[in-house]
Amino acid sequence: MNVELRHLRALAAIGDEGTITGAAHVLHISQPALSRTLDQLETRLNTRLVERTTRRLELTEAGRRLSERAHRVLREFDDALEEVATGPRPLRIGFPWGSLGRHTVPLLRSWRAEHPDTPLGVRRCDDPEAELRRGGLDAAFLRKRPAPGSGLEALALYEESRMAAVPEGDPLAERATVRLADLAPRPVAICATAATTSAELWPEEARPHTFEVANVDEWLTAIATGDSVGVTAESTRHSYPHPGVRYLPLADADPVTVQLVWPHTPTHPATKALRDHAARLLRRRPPRTGSAGSGSARAAAMSP
């Protein structure tokens, strides 16, 4: 098919930027040159990869799949060149929200002591699953299993209690624990990225009003100012203490399961060592606070 790296770079940039103008700027080429490169790629594959509108470009399903693969191929190619010049690269791990809470530093320190020649590069990102598929991460700690057919593997490590987040000074803040029904009359803030909470956590007949915020800072601000309450995993209390927010155990909410996730075909030779290390330190630890409830965990989109 005579597809070249420049074709893959063009498609990846268009998918990331959403416009020919933006993609051409990132690639440091002219817009006509980028359009010609895209046309060449579609012609050689005999497949439409991009739907063109007057304002924006949208990848087709085939284009989206190829763009993800292109990111991975380009990342591996660039990594190979970098390793020739500077030596082996770090093992890149990601997380979407509160990382591992109180377990984060012990895990990183013990890894550094046991694997001094393989540094870890730790990164917080909004969509770790997408970064894993694209090769931007080698592994990630998530609070949900990847979807079937995603090309990702998962190892369940431990269960983490859910916590309620309420404004300091609120009557609920004086309690030792709260229940879902206590939160239902209040607006509940849901973070648009990495959510472990949805309205489905409550019974259908008693679901609260929910609204989305863009990130953890907006989530904390909405709660601290009294505009809402929140539900999150226990690690958030450790990673994001806030003077205007009180975290309380939820007595009747099932815990979330922390997973280590990595590509089916590992992108770093130390992936198995990381999996074994995390399993040895973390696997099957019980929740630290609150009541886990009984039965299997409810299916909920992960959060806060």
Which pLDDT tens digit goes with each residue over 122-162?
Answer: 988 878 888 898 888 999 999 888 888 888 999 999 999 99
pLDDT mean across residues, the chain: 86
Pair type for strands 57-59 and 50-52: antiparallel
Task: Provide DSSP, 104-117.
Answer: HHHHHHHHHHH-TT
Distance of CA 213 to the CA centre of its chain: 16
Q: Is the Cα torsion angle 169, 253, 97, 23 positive or negative in sign?
A: negative
Within 13 Å of residue 296, how many CA atoms lie on the same side as its CB? 3
The pTM of this model reads 0.72
> Structural domains in the chain?
5-85 (1.10.10.10), 90-304 (3.40.190.290)
- Whole-angstrom CA distances from 189 to 75, 198, 210, 232, 236 are 36, 9, 6, 10, 14
| Confidence grade of residue 291 (pLDDT, cut at 50, 70, 90) | very low
Alpha-carbon gap, residue 13 to 70, rounded angstroms: 10
Angle at 249 between CA 147 and CA 214, to 5 degrees: 50
- Rounded CA gap, 207 and 198, in Å? 10
Asked whether the predicted pLDDT for residue 260 surpasses 50, the reply is yes
